[in-house]
Amino acid sequence: LRLCGMFNELRQNLINLGEANVDAVMSGYTHLQPSEPITFGHYCAGVLNALERDYERIQNAWKALNICPLGGGSMGSTTFMINRDRTSALLGFDEPMQNSIDCTASRDYCLEIIGTMSVASCTLSRFAYDLYMWSTPEYGYVEVDDSVAGCSSIMPQKKNALTLECCKGKAAHMEAFFVSVFSSLKNIPFTHCRDSSTEAMRFVWTALQEFEADLALLNVTIKTLTLKKERMLQAAVQNYCTVTELANYLVRHDGISFRSAHGVVAMLVGYMQEHNKLANEITVDDINPICELLLGKKTSLTDDLIREALDPTRNAMSKKTIGGSNSEEVTRQLNRLQTNLDRDNLTLESRVGQVKGAKEELERQVAEAIA
């Protein structure tokens, strides 16, 4: 439950970061190459959707965890007529396990918990990798705070994003913990044995502690992250991430197929790069020779229309369909994510209250019995 709380704190911090940057235009990337203009808020919403699914898997594991094995005995139950419903309730469980063999044989809930956290760690690692890459001087999109960075012992200019490195590494540990538990549980008898009760459980607590550290490191990193918005926008202006929209403009204004427009723009980009020119330097004089070569006619685009197509801010804000990068649409996405997070927090609060209430009732009844 504590880990669920930390996970939801991470989701909240990322929502806050996204809301503050729905207008921070940057290049989107595929294959680590500039693709199309987006906003940093749009990127945050994308990661948040994945984290929402990760959290759903984690919180669903509670159902298999929170059933009570007390009363299963060594594996065959007991001849004493105990009230397992009552003892289950007093310990904060949802219900007693319904078979005494299952009480002592099963550890699948541990495998499920570590499995769901391994999947979540993979998402967190990919997110950390993006921030790690964007914090390098070659990108310069974000800067981690001094409190989560380290300097080289020999190179004084270095500002190493240490927390992000740790988060990426911890995903590998989580995978290893899952494989270890899985390997220990397979091909053993379905009853009590040391394989299941000791060897399989050897790294369960370590896995939970590693996941806790992962969340703690990312929470402090996100809360103290600085965005370099001007640098992000300037890169999007120059790095050709806008030329897909230029192809769209050729389709709209010249009435050609996108396949033909794609060919024109691909050759155009090659020409501009060969002549050491940037995307924002494209003019109609650059396009026309290629159009004549490939299409047998000149384009009807003007320099004003070309500048309009290549404006990354206009480009990002023009994508208003569901899931798009328009600031109002991203705000809608983030509002939905906030609503779902609030719902998940209420469920978590109820579970915490259930355990706390059961503990208080148990202590009250023990005190009465002693008195």
**What does the pLDDT look like over 36-79, one tens digit per residue?**
999 999 999 999 999 999 999 999 999 999 999 999 999 999 99
For residue 152, pLDDT over 90 is answered with no
Q: Using an 8 Å Cβ cutoff, are 291 and 256 in contact?
A: no
Average of per-residue pLDDT values in the chain: 96
CATH 1.20.200.10 in the chain, residue ranges: 11-235+321-370
Judge residue 222's burial from the number of C-beta atoms within 10 Å of its C-beta, 0-12 exposed, 13-18 middle, 19 or more buried.
Answer: buried
Quick one: fold of 11-235+321-370?
Fumarase C; Chain A, domain 2 (1.20.200)
Structure tokens at 102: 């299952």
Distance separating alpha carbons of residues 120 and 175, to the nearest angstrom: 11
Q: Using an 8 Å Cβ cutoff, are 49 and 15 in contact?
A: no
The tens digit of pLDDT for each residue in 230-282 reads: 999 999 999 999 999 999 999 999 999 999 999 999 999 999 999 999 999 99
Element (DSSP H or E) covering residue 39: strand 33-39
Looking at residues 82-101, what average pLDDT do you find? 96
Dihedral pair phi/psi, residue 167, rounded to 5°? -65, -40
With CA atoms as reference, report the closest residue to 24 among 230, 240, 244, 324.
230
Q: Using an 8 Å Cβ cutoff, are 187 and 195 in contact?
A: no
**160: Cβ contacts below 8 Å, ≥ 6 apart:** 149, 150, 151, 152
Whether the pTM exceeds 0.85: the reply is yes
Judge residue 220's burial from the number of C-beta atoms within 10 Å of its C-beta, 0-12 exposed, 13-18 middle, 19 or more buried.
Answer: middle
Q: What is the CATH number of domain 243-310?
A: 1.10.40
CATH 1.10.40 in the chain, residue ranges: 243-310
Distance separating alpha carbons of residues 279 and 238, to the nearest angstrom: 5
Structure tokens at 257: 């197929």
